[in-house]
Amino acid sequence: MLAGHGGVFALTLLLILTTTVLFFVFDCPFLARHLTLAIPIIAAILFFFVMSCLLQTSFTDPGILPRATVCEAAALEKQIDNTGSSTYRPPPRTREVMINGQVVKLKYCFTCKMFRPPRTSHCSVCDNCVERFDHHCPWVGNCVGKRNYRFFYAFILSLSFLTAFIFACVVTHLTLRELPAPVPCGSLTAPLTVLELVICFFSIWSILGLSGFHTYLVASNLTTNEDIKGSWSNKRGGEASVNPYSHKSVITNCCAVLCGPLPPSLIDRRGFVQSDTVLPSPVRSDEPACGAKPDASMVGSHP
């Protein structure tokens, strides 16, 4: 989590917290007194929901697949290269499986030493294979995948509502201040209120666009990675193929993506790394075989 993008995640928190705090300090008292007390209540509910979804997105395992152990990698390579030839050949990069009558290719990951399950991709930032990989989002500091996509979607959707709500309330505040006999306010109220308006104005368009795009993805049971690559369309110039993961119904697709059971994490956060689970450099001829104990003369011979 937060692999290499801790600063961008902190910027996300700072923007949300700054805008919301300014709104509660300089706008909510005026609007609650002259309009309705429901305004700060609604803003507080939206703010806590946004922060909850953001933290869950950032600190939830997105669906990282553990890398193959030395024994598992050796067994897979032996299974692939069953010709008995002594010359080195790299393993084939793909395998084909059938999913709902559609041929899906599984790519071999040379870093994790395994064939990636369907819809899995290797994140170059996190350096992990992630199930149902959508994209790596620097704003949340984490990959978005099978286990945290629903939190990410709820975050951008609720952030859209919060930003639009604050923007509308700030415009209302500034409009009411220009009416005859305005209520006296502090000297810093107007400049800081305008600052909120500027932040919300330049943020709301990208957030609303992102929410609309991911709503389309949810309704189609697609990922950002699949949509950009054109996995099930003719974006690459080839023939369009049918998305095998779509249930042909918008409601069913939404339920499958957002309401299905959350799979357990495959990461043992409290476990200890064993010596035979670390992927070393290519095995040398003088190193012991998988599972064999090293000879006494070999101890300390390698750095």
Question: Which residues are the active-site residues?
Answer: 137
Beta-strand relationship, 128-130 and 121-123: antiparallel
